Structure 1
Amino acid sequence: MIKNRIVYTSMAILLLLFGVMVAVLPNLGIETKNTEYSYETLVFNKSKVTTVDIEIPQEDWEDMLENAADEELKQANITINGKTIENVAIRTKGNLTLRSVVNSDSDRYSLKVDFDYYDDTQSLYGLKKLNLNNNYSDSTLMREYISYELMEKMGLPTPAHSYMYVTVNGEERGLYLGVEAVDETFLANNYGSNDGFLFKPDGVGSDLKYISDDIADYTGIGLKTNEDNIEDSKLTDMLDAINNGGDIEQYIDVDEMLRYFAVNTALVNLDSYQGNMKHNYYLYENNGVFSIIPWDYNMSFGGFNVGGGGMGGGNPNQMRGNTNKELPEGETDENADIPAVTQSQVGQANGEQAQGGQLNGEQPQGGQPNGEQPQEGQLNGEQAQEGQPNANRDKGGFNMLNGMSGDLMADSAINFSVSTPVSGTTLEERPLLNALLSNETYRAKYEGYLEQLATNYLTEDYIQSITNNLAMLLTSYQEADPTKFTTTEQFLEGVSGDNSLPEFAKQRSASILKQLSGELVVETSATAQGNMAMPNGDTNNEANGNQMQMPDDFDPSQLPEDFDPSQLPADFDPSQMPEGGMGNEQGGKANGGPMQRPDGMGFPNQGNGQATQETGIDKSTVLTATATFSFLVAALLFVFRFNRRGR
């Protein structure tokens, strides 16, 4: 009996120790995940809202808000889910979105956190850089998140992403979408190597037209990695192949790019290579073969100048903001949001300009930082009525609410062409896409991926399941958000109903299937695809014969400060525009200091406001623990049966 008691006692102690190891140790902050890229689950946990607490000298924070357009780096400490990383760099980020917030009554800026700026050995579970996107222009707060989810479903390398609630020096800043930066860490994690060449096209050459065999001529295809070995890149060979009929399979991952363009087309994401701005994507060359990496989807679901949506119109001098800013060494501008000078596809065959406000009119007060209604504009993105040039504009020349809800169900978005999936340009002007769709075999694959999306992922039921889950997760945070751009009611409109993302998915997927079967034919023309008008421009400009024809390499930063499009002659040639920056002063100052939380509005689900530590147990740990537990149980059963036989 003594021996039996000793055995039982020993087994009980082992079980107790096992329970302590599994249940207690991870919550004490001991990292049990033995992998270089554990940030994918420890930082970007999609089942919860991650807590991000920033500590920064108050004078530095106020200076950052007061001079947000400078994007100056500040030193700070950051705590994410209870884990503190000291001595990190933080700055405001963006381009059009940044400029628009600067010129509004809000100080809700997107932020970039650089964990290894001061110490290149430092990271957060392997993560080197984190973007905190402010969900500008998206009242649903879900467009970018869902877009990345669909990219993942289609097997594309996609930045890690999840929602985060941000505080600065103890004051709440609100609900953001955290997105992994596309950098060396991302490349190594997704491609197994970061020794290749990462390009961020945005400017001359970003349409991927062949210019010459001198890579220096492609000034808009920025190289972000491996700069010292640029002569080894096959970029010009790839461009020659897609433009001049070479073997494109030698240079590009055809299947991956077909999946990418299928998702982009299905989501009507036109602030991209498929739009006239030809940006918001990365190219990664690994062993001479190019892959495409998705980026920046807050304007998907037809949010970019389709059917009256998009970023709205504004003073051309506000287009790029501080385009001549100097970023710190090693920094890139991932959020170069430039408003399209483009035309809606369906119903615009005669080159008529989009409806909306005037180019040079006065601006309204815009959205208030706490989600209050503007003085004159409409909350749901309704445009100013004809003849009211001063309505629905913020003081910086940009309507903050225009495009935030917009006409999500516009026919031009729902029935966006799948056979000629470009906006404000032609297929011939987008040689990568044209090379793929000109090949019958590739086009059949592309259409097959579109059908897969329309029947499996971009469906009412699938998107509804995502929006329902996100509504349950985010609503309390959105309600408490002191700097939000829009109301909780607008946020919930995107979850379900006649003007929701699931309804968009229902109608868009039906349109895709009808177009693929030939039941629906979407008419396109060179005029409709090629002519470009200022977004939400003055429809009366047509009478003056001043429809602006912009070249494909149009750079809004070159517009002079006193530029007035209404004075342009009918034979105006934009390629002759004078060089030089905009020289535009800030139209307004952001409020200094962090926002105060509303009275009686507690920190959602956080109790005393302390960050909760994320449990980090990976699959191998779970398997090991399960095997160990099973062994212990089996040992107990064996001892029990042996004891009974002994009796």
Structure 2
Amino acid sequence: MIKNRVVYSCTAILLVLFIVMLAVLPNLNIEMKNDEFSYETLVFNKSKVTTVDIEIAEEDWADMLANAADEELKQANVTVNGKRIENVAIRTKGNLSLRSVVNSDSDRYSLKIDFDYYDNSQSLYGLKKLNLNNNYSDTTLMREYISYELMEKMGLPTPSHSYMYVTVNGEERGLYLGVEAVDETFLAKNFGSNDGFLFKPDGTGSDLKYISDNIDDYTGIGLKTNEDNIEDSKLIEMLDVINNGGDLEQYIDVDEMLRYFAVNTALVNLDSYQGNMKHNYYLYEDGGVFSIIPWDYNMSFGGFGVGGGGMGSRPNQVQANTATDTSDTDETATDTLMNNQDMKPPLNGEIPQGDPQREGDQPPIMNGDAAQKPGIEQNQNPVQEETQANTNTNKDTVAEENVATNADTQQHDENRPQRGGMDMGMSSNLMSDSAINFSITTPVSGTTLEERPLLNALLSNDKYREIYEGYLEELATTYLTEDYVQNITNNLAAMLTTYVEADPTKFSTTEQFLEGVEGDNSLPEFAKQRSASILKQLSGELVVEADTSSQGGGSKENGEQAGEMNNNPPQMPSDFEPSQLSEDFDPSQVPQGWEQQGGEKGNQIQPPDRNDGVKGMPGQSSEQTVQSTGIDKNTVITILISLLVLMCALIWVFRFNRRGR
């Protein structure tokens, strides 16, 4: 017979082992092969700058830079936070932004890394594709990041995103924004299934007008998944309902789309469905119901311009109960071509061709036949949809034709950064009246609500409009506020400033980046004024008549010329030590109240150590790994199994003891 002390000793040992497993396992940072979404914390860690080290044959890299517009895939090895993935595909990406850089003396191209191109079983902690966005046209470097943050706060399916410092063959390329691709992995993570139909509209049909019951007529609604079963899609039925009436809730996730359009409107993101380009969004059909997925926000916060795209666009017509004297001065719309990233200007007199089969690409806006279309003058950029007889009344085509401006009459703002004589399309003044007072009742630009049937169907319904306005109020009082955005920009400034300063390929200056953090021409100030305008429009105190024209003008706002630099930079805290910054960096522009990385507001900023890791790269070691926090589902499962084993062992011991063996 086993003595009681033996039974108690076994029980105590089992309990101790269980407690040790419970305490230790979550901190081992064990990579679980079946944790398909661990990249959310291991790759997109928002509290640190991720390191991306690319190794590629020198001749392949040189060829990629020399022929960037070809977007040709090259083989490479990539190390992300110390995790090495071999035999991946990499290429340049972008549309007008890509071609604008091609035509400059810069070679700072956005990049797409495809981890599973050569081996479909390969991934980076479950991530199959990674976009490295070059922050083209955004001197603040924060518009896209903050936009995605607000989308997340409003409960929308949003790509993972964080900042990444990139090197190629040991040489620094600079600070990029890493963004998760919208693909099968994204769908499985956000919708629990990727068996549905993922569409990326851009071109004929992307306005979601009903053309016919033949899906082949919608050449601009690109299908990215489940291509073999397109006949099972409810796309045509959905288009019929939003255009001709019917039960919207049977075909679209109404509440989600109202949240999406509320955020888009609040952020004045017009390089989108709500602008004349009618693109930069995804639709995902799951079980016959369509959801909308946000995409491409480097021109949010009014960066695309109101009226027809580009800087210096025509302002809204504003009427208020309290009279305001705003003098409007017409001027040539500058940087229209440069600021519209998804228009493809011809290279060397040829019409560019795209590869619509590549994930993340935009379909080509013109084909070879379009060049022969009558009515396109030589001084116009032939950026137009192919027009069929049944779409001759499409006003969006007219709008897109009008966006193009005569290059001979374009005027460049001397205050904007330029490389090689080319205006890089940077917007330095966020405070234009047309953006601050962008209409919430008719939230379109360069087009009309009737030309955007999805949005029109939602806002034509009194019940849905009330919900939409409720979300706008939530944004204006909770998220798009000066304090909330200021907290984000302060944290980003503390984390990113030395990276921005060290960036050898950046389009704009460190001083311009800091202007976006705090002050009269900053993102928090935009949030303050924009949210105030939204609340006034909701209350009826301010009435804004949307500008649906496609030709932009310019204006002087608050005594400042549009695009003029802010001459009153914020002051630096007395204890800031910019020991790692270059001699020409002006520390007087560092905002007060920055938060120390990992510390409390007001503490001294400690610039990252730039002496370790990859040569010259600030703040990160090439072998550094990001440790995820919290307990993942695999740890929970392990604990539950251990608990079950413990209980079975205890039951067996006591039963054995009672038998007297």
TM-score (norm 1): 0.73
Alpha-carbon separation, structure 2, partners of 1:328 and 1:77: 26
**Residues 163-178 of structure 1: matches in 2 within 5 Å?**
163-178=163-178
3-state SS, counterpart of residue 447 of structure 1 = helix
Corresponding residue number in structure 1 for 2:408: 360
Contiguous gaps of at least 5 residues in structure 1: 343-350, 365-375, 382-391, 537-596, 631-647
Distance 1:240 1:496 in 2: 47
- State the match for 1:399 in structure 2: 423
Q: 2:353 aligns with which of 322, 325, 335?
A: 325
User: 1:332 & 1:6 partners in 2: Cα distance?
Assistant: 59
Q: 2:617 aligns with which of 571, 579, 603?
A: 603
- Deviation at residue 523 of structure 1 after TM alignment: 2.4
Aligned to 1:585: none
In structure 2, C-alpha distance between the alignment counterparts of 1:295 and 1:49, rounded to whole Å: 22
C-alpha distance in 1, partners of 2:639/2:220? 53
1:48-87 superposed matches below 5 A: 48-87=48-87
Distance 2:25 2:235 in 1: 52
CA distance in 2, matches of 1:534, 1:64: 38
- Specify whether residues 531 and 58 from structure 1 end up closer, same or farther in structure 2 by C-alpha distance, changes over 3 A only: closer
Q: Tell me, what secondary structure is at the counterpart of 1:78?
A: strand
TM-aligned CA deviation for residue 459 of structure 1: 0.2
Task: Check 1:166–1:535 CA distance in 2 against 1; reply closer, same or farther (3 A cut).
Answer: farther
- One-letter code aligned to 1:495: V
Q: Structure 2 matches for 1:58-207, cutoff 5 A?
A: 58-207=58-207
Partner of residue 412, structure 1: 434
Evaluate the alpha carbon distance shift between residue 20 and residue 329 of structure 1 in structure 2; reply closer, same or farther with a 3 A threshold: same
Q: How does 1:615-634 map to 2 (within 5 A)?
A: 615-616=627-628, 618-620=631-633
Counterpart CA distance in 2 for 1:337 and 1:312 is 19
Q: CA deviation at 1:399?
A: 1.6
Q: Is the 8 A contact 1:313 1:399 kept in 2?
A: no
Q: 1:217 to 1:54 in 2, by over 3 A?
A: same
Superposition map of 1:414-429 within 5 A: 414-429=436-451
Shift of 1:11: 10
Q: 1:449–1:17: structure 2 CA closer, same or farther, 3 Å change rule?
A: closer
C-alpha deviation, 1:188, in angstroms: 1.0
SS in 2 for 1:530: coil
Matches within 5 A, 1:260-409: 260-306=260-306, 308=312, 312-314=335-337, 319=345, 324-327=352-355, 330-333=358-361, 359-360=407-408, 377-379=414-416, 395=421, 399-400=423-424, 402=425, 404-409=426-431
Alpha-carbon contact 1:257-1:292 (below 8 Å) kept: yes
Counterparts of 2:505 and 2:427, CA distance in 1: 18
1:611 CA drift (Å)? 3.1
Write the distance in 2 (CA, Å) between the matches of 1:611 and 1:535. Answer: 50
3-state DSSP class of the match of 1:360?
helix
Give SS of 1:522's match: strand
Instruction: Give deviations 1:331-368, integer Å, cap 9, x for gaps.
Output: 340599999999xxxxxxxx9x999996325898xxxx
Amino acid paired to 1:529: T
Q: CA–CA distance in 2 between the matches of 1:302 and 1:354?
A: 20
The 2-side partners of 1:229 and 1:625 are apart by 39
Q: Cα gap change, 1:207/1:356 in structure 2, threshold over 3 Å: closer, same or farther? A: closer
Asked whether the 8 Å contact 2:356–2:364 carries over to 1, the reply is no
Structure-1 separation of matches of 2:91 and 2:84: 18
Aligned pair 1:439/2:489, yes or no? no
Structure 1 pair 362/196, CA: closer, same or farther in 2 (3 Å)? Answer: closer
Distance across 2 between alignment mates of 1:276 and 1:251: 25
CA apart distance, 1:625:
9.9
Query: Which residue matches 1:529?
Result: 548
Unaligned runs of 5+ in 2: 1-5, 314-332, 367-380, 385-398, 556-610, 644-661
Q: 1:248 to 1:629 in 2, by over 3 A?
A: closer
Q: Whose RCO is larger (CA < 8 A, sep 6+)?
A: 1
**Cα distance in 2 between the residues matched to 1:19 and 1:286:** 40
Residue 45 of structure 2 is matched in structure 1 by: 45
Q: Which amino acid aligns with 1:484?
A: K
Relative to structure 1, the CA distance from residue 531 to residue 605 in structure 2 (aligned partners, 3 Å threshold; closer, same or farther) is closer
Could you say what the CA RMSD is over the residues aligned between the two structures, in angstroms? 3.8
Q: What's the secondary structure of 1:259's corresponding residue?
A: helix
**Distance between the aligned counterparts of 2:358 and 2:299, measured in 1?**
27
Secondary structure, aligned partner of 1:107: coil
Task: Encode CA deviations 1:467-500: one digit per residue, 9 max, x unaligned.
Answer: 0111111111111111111111100100110000
Structure 2 counterparts to residues 31-42 of structure 1, below 5 A:
31-32=31-32, 35-42=35-42
Letter in 1 for 2:494: M
Residue type at the aligned position of 1:467: T
CA shift for structure 1 position 21: 5.7
